[in-house]
Structure 1
Amino acid sequence: MSVDFELSSAQKKLKYDVREFAREVLRPAAERADRIDDPHEAFVAMKPVFEQAHAMGLATDFLPAKYGGGGGSIIDLMIATEELSAVDAGFPTILLVNGLALMPLTWFGTREQCEKWIGLATAETSTDHLGGWVVSERGGTANFDHPSPTAGIQLVADHDRANGEYVLNGEKHWPCNAGGWDLRGADANLCIVRTDRTKGGKEALSAIVVERGTPGIEYEVIDKIGLRTCQNVTMTFRDVRVPEENLFADGDGDLVINRNFTWSGPLAGIAAVGVARGAYEFALKWSKTYTGGGSSPIIGHQAVGHLLAEIAAKIESGRYLCWKAAHYLDKYDSEGHALGAMAKTFCGDLMQTVVVDCMRIVGVNAVDRKFGMEKFYREAIVFPLYDSGSLGMQRRKAWGVMADPGFTPDIFVDGDPFTYTKSMEGYGVLGGAPPGPSRHG
């Protein structure tokens, strides 16, 4: 059969192994951490869980085998992500951001850079390695590909050729993992920087790896209402000196952003499915035991039964869209920008309606913190906003792909390749289509 949704025996084992880990190890730790007032202490409290997940390969299995990773597929990573997210959505974010920090090296970096930075993450002595994905800024970066040099990314990296360094000045807001366990920085922070002060976002951006402990950076932890088990910070750069050999994708930082958020899109989508599934499992169990003061469980009421059936259908549809996107990205090395974006935005929006409907089934007890349902609500709020935002980069990226003359609605259903190019960028940054005709290839 050309269409097959059957999990292999290895994938089924992965699913149930991670489910056991999520329920037995992650859940009690996440429940404790979620109640800690200090956001950095809440993150640090998850370190022992991270180390156990690392020992299982969950932090490195998706990295290429030739650099020490497990060489696993995006679909495998997706199976694990759903199981973790059904219990706590913040923790798998820590793992996935390791990928956002390191996967761009495999697409745009040199072999030497991959061997160095991915090798550090996959070394046998590394049990708590963190990578940070540092792109967002306080003024907003949804329009990172704006043609003006004063819009979009404003963390500037000036080349000091005499000393063989880049000097970074500016600020980043919301990067995940970037502060590290001790606020001295992640082991490797992949930063998108402006290397040309005179050009727009399609020509002026690059990527650079900033090592842990690099002087001149201040970290301030952001206190969030949801996903409290992962870390987000504000980073301030003041004359931060980084070796020039740490730079890559010179002038193509825009493509790094788009491809990275394509890789993460269906993973964020399946994380949303996981949250929705967690809420659904809670509501389903509740409906089979709670009577609402009547003589029988409320699942016997038509309104509850119909709503549960609709909830289940939404979860199934979201899961299979993510699986389709992952299959396509595995096939074409994460080139599937519109499909990845659709998986993320569709599931993020779908999950919010599912969680609210589950709360309606549970009733007023859903807002009592002792039952745990309110945590699903707090996490549901985050999904349309993070991972480049459903109304920000993700839908605009899909728009640019579909506007290209070479695009047809059959591309994804037929599984044909479709490469993302700079001509597909810039849509919406000036209120409409980018200047000049769009050309694929």
Structure 2
Amino acid sequence: MANFNISAEQRQLVEEVRALALRQIAPAVGMLDEADDGRFNDGPFRALAEHNLLTPTVPQEYGGRGLGYFSTALALEELGAVCAGVATVVTANIHAASPIILAGSAGQRGTYLPPLAYAEPCLAAFALTEPEAGSDITSIATTAACNKGLWTINGVKEFVINGGLARFTTLFATTDKEDKRAGLVAFIVPYDVQGLKVGTVHNKMGIRCVRTARLILDKVIVPDELVIGPRGSAYLLLMQTFDRGRALAGAVGVGLARAAFEFALQYSKHRQQFGRPVFAQQAVSFVLAELAARIESARLLVWKACWLIDNDLDYTMASSMAKIAGSQVAQEAAAAAMDICGGRGYLKDLPVEKYLRDARVLSLIEGTNNIQKAVIASLL
């Protein structure tokens, strides 16, 4: 872990994703942001799918790139630097695939993983949060009951990224209202199953290219073959999925922070005030110097967490730290960039106001930062 050099293959990956993002995603960012949340433009995701980057963690035996989490974090930083929304859709696909990769049967993997590696964009969704249950797993109200090998699922899932667009949804429900952790069950729910309905499509302040919807499950019936993992293992599977996803959320934050920092740095060196560049003011240059250090610190925390994941070591605390660091530095960098750009930064002419809107969600998704602090405190 003390070796901070990335491999030649990883450097090539970074260059590939950066070039792709600048060429095929960056020109559409403004249009994607201005569109209503209810309208979905699959252009950026089609470009990613063509390069097998929409779900890069899918193993090679199922047609995917088979990237480890360290390499995936490198790719997500590049995507986050161009559009945090696009990067968030990729993390949602990874999130949905993760339980299947970790504990899915051979049939589940063979059916649901290959489409995620197709050249045509295939989206997946992950559904846990409910109107009255977020980080509190014990408040889950979505129920699942089994009768002769068929499961009936009833409930409402909230804030589902790719909701209504996904080919399948990885969903968690409980069979036991008294002990909801022990009764937790993970399901694969196909998009065309009867009783699955799309409710409200939410209108958000940021990451506006991301379809975020409420899903309603009204007597949805799925066979036992679509239960992921053995009975009693779903809670552990959920925690593993969350811990892995948090590290990647940190990577998206690092990318956004880097973009805001680089824009503010260049702006400060060209903007003249009082006969010299704004950067010459110590109040500005010191802010940027501190941001540079904070971004590098957050990146190293992300790298550490992902290295631990790839090496099957204990990564829970490191992932929570990476998520906090990445999301916080994204917000700090975006806010500082707006201050440095002054009034112009508040206008849509510059990308700074989008950075600020997009950054705000990063401390909320994958479990709020206060939840991450609780996780870390529990392990001290």
Gaps of 5+ in 1: 147-151, 181-185, 403-441
Aligned pairs for 1:236-275 within 5 A: 236-249=216-229, 250-275=231-256
Aligned partners of 2:172 and 2:187 also within 8 Å: yes
Following the alignment from structure 2 to structure 1, what is the Cα–Cα distance between the partners of residues 24 and 129? Answer: 32
Match of 2:96 among 101, 120, 136: 101
Corresponding residue for 1:437? Answer: none
Q: Secondary structure at the match of 2:55?
A: coil
Equivalenced residue count is: 378
Shift of 1:251: 2.6
Name the structure, 1 or 2, with higher relative contact order (CA <8 Å, separation 6+): 2
Aligned pairs for 1:111-122 within 5 A: 111-122=106-117
Aligned partners of 1:328 and 1:336 also within 8 Å: yes
Aligned partners of 2:151 and 2:222 also within 8 Å: yes
Shift of 1:252: 2.6
Q: Secondary structure at the match of 1:192?
A: strand
Aligned partners of 1:109 and 1:248 also within 8 Å: yes
Following the alignment from structure 1 to structure 2, what is the Cα–Cα distance between the partners of residues 391 and 97? Answer: 21
Rg larger for: 1
Corresponding residue for 1:283? Answer: 264
* TM-score normalised per structure 2: 0.95
Is 1:68–2:49 an aligned residue pair?
no
Shift of 1:248: 2.2
Gaps of 5+ in 2: none
Q: Secondary structure at the match of 1:277?
A: helix
Aligned pairs for 1:73-222 within 5 A: 73-122=68-117, 124=118, 127-144=120-137, 146=138, 152-161=139-148, 164-180=149-165, 186-197=166-177, 199-219=178-198, 220-222=200-202
Alpha-carbon deviations, 1:298-326, whole Å to 9, x = none? 11111111111111111111111101111
Shift of 1:208: 0.3
Is 1:363–2:342 an aligned residue pair?
yes
Shift of 1:32: 0.4
Opposite residue 57 of structure 1, the aligned amino acid is: N
Aligned partners of 2:99 and 2:228 also within 8 Å: no
Identity of aligned residues (%): 28
CA gap of 1:99–1:315, structure 2 versus 1, over 3 A, is: same
Corresponding residue for 2:298? Answer: 318
Following the alignment from structure 1 to structure 2, what is the Cα–Cα distance between the partners of residues 92 and 353? Answer: 19
Opposite residue 118 of structure 1, the aligned amino acid is: L
CA root-mean-square deviation: 1.6
Aligned partners of 1:195 and 1:251 also within 8 Å: no
Aligned partners of 1:338 and 1:399 also within 8 Å: no
Match of 1:376 among 316, 332, 355: 355
Q: Secondary structure at the match of 2:272?
A: coil
CA gap of 1:108–1:401, structure 2 versus 1, over 3 A, is: farther
Q: Secondary structure at the match of 2:82?
A: coil
* TM-score normalised per structure 1: 0.82
Aligned partners of 2:69 and 2:306 also within 8 Å: yes
Corresponding residue for 1:3? Answer: 2
Opposite residue 12 of structure 2, the aligned amino acid is: K
| Structure 1 runs of 4+ with >4 Å offset | none
Q: Secondary structure at the match of 1:154?
A: coil
Shift of 1:390: 1.4
Aligned partners of 1:202 and 1:252 also within 8 Å: no
Shift of 1:212: 1.3
Opposite residue 171 of structure 1, the aligned amino acid is: V
Following the alignment from structure 1 to structure 2, what is the Cα–Cα distance between the partners of residues 204 and 310? Answer: 47
Opposite residue 203 of structure 1, the aligned amino acid is: A
